[in-house]
């Protein structure tokens, strides 16, 4: 009997070793700083499994989402995970531009009682394209306050998309960059179908001078939360000029 158990454990161990019994996680939640968390979902992009980062902030008055999951299969699991982990419900979502890795879940979230916001600029693009739209829109840079937490939206100009905004969390000194900032390990600018390559660097310099004290930066794709991601994105843009 003991030998059987040993063999069984060995088999299980081997399966783990070859990666056959452990599917890649579909939703990853990573602490960034204090009550700020990044969450990552995945989809196929150019034949490869690609990741997309969003974030959420836990406040005593509920959880604020910065962007929605990219993978629709993770809309509900994200809400469930947040509630199980923090004992709080999502109450508000700010989408940072009109692409499906930022805004695919807006309709779903609204149906679950989450108040959804985007800029009016983003909404006009989403409306034209027949994509998911937020319920409420702001026409200029806006400060949201909820449960002692401050969320400052900022539009620095065109970049990865013409409507891309960032969100500054001054309490934790976290800059939520979204797709206008590539991760510090990125080797390319990613999806540039709607990019304004001519304006992007100026936009990043605007963001840098507006929020020079960022201690953490959440990029739209890729790993790491180093504020160096901003300089790195500038160097990627510099490289394509050559």
Which sequence positions are flagged as catalytic?
A: 97, 99, 101, 160, 191
Are 109 and 138 a contacting pair, CB within 8 Å? Answer: no
Select from 12, 48, 42, 36 the least CA-distant residue to 24. 42
Q: Tell me: does residue 179 bind Zn ion (CB under 5 A).
A: yes
C-beta of 78 vs 179, nearer to Zn ion? 179
* Separation CA 207–CA 155 (nearest Å): 8
Asked whether 133 and 127 are in contact (CB, 8 A), the reply is yes
Q: Nearest-CB residue to Zn ion?
A: 99
Q: How far is the CB of 84 from Zn ion (least distance, A)?
A: 29
Site string for Zn ion, 62-101 (x = CB under 5 A): -------------------------------------x--
182 binds Zn ion (CB under 5 A): no
Query: Smaller CB distance to Zn ion: residue 38 or 82?
Result: 38
What distance, in Å, lies between the first and last C-alpha atoms of the chain? Answer: 69
How many Å is the maximal CA-CA distance in the chain? Answer: 70
Shortest Cβ 234–Zn ion spacing (Å)? 18
Shortest reach from residue 98's CB to Zn ion, in Å: 8
Residues that bind Zn ion (rule: CB under 5 A) add up to a total of 2
Q: Tell me the C-alpha distance between 231 and 234, whole Å.
A: 5
Q: What is the CA radius of gyration of the chain?
A: 19
CB of 102 to Zn ion, least distance (A): 6
Q: Are 232 and 184 spatial neighbours (Cβ–Cβ below 8 Å)?
A: yes
Point out which residues bind Zn ion (CB under 5 A). 99, 179
């Amino acid at each position: 009997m003991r030998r059987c158990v040993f063999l069984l454990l060995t088999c299980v161990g081997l399966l783990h070793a070859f990666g056959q019994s452990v599917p890649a996680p579909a939703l990853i939640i990573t602490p960034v700083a204090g009550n700020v968390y990044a969450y990552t979902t995945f989809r196929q992009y150019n034949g490869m499994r690609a990741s997309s980062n969003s974030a959420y902030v836990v406040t005593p008055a509920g959880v604020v989402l910065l962007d929605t999951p990219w993978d629709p299969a993770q809309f509900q699991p994200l809400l469930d995970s947040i509630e199980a982990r923090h004992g709080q419900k999502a109450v508000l979502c700010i989408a940072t531009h009109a692409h499906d890795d930022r805004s695919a879940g807006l309709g779903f979230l609204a149906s679950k009682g989450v108040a959804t916001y985007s800029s009016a600029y983003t909404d006009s693009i989403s409306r034209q394209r027949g994509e998911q739209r937020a319920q409420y829109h702001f026409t200029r840079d806006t400060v949201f306050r909820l449960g002692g937490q401050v969320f400052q939206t900022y539009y620095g100009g065109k970049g990865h998309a013409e409507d891309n905004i960032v969100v500054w969390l001054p309490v934790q000194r976290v800059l939520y960059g979204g797709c206008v900032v590539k991760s510090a390990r990125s080797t390319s600018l990613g999806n540039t179908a709607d990019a304004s390559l001519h304006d992007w660097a100026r936009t990043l310099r605007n963001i840098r001078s507006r929020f020079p004290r960022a201690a953490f930066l959440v990029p739209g794709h890729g790993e790491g939360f180093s504020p160096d991601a901003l300089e790195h994105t500038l160097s990627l843009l510099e490289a394509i000029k050559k």
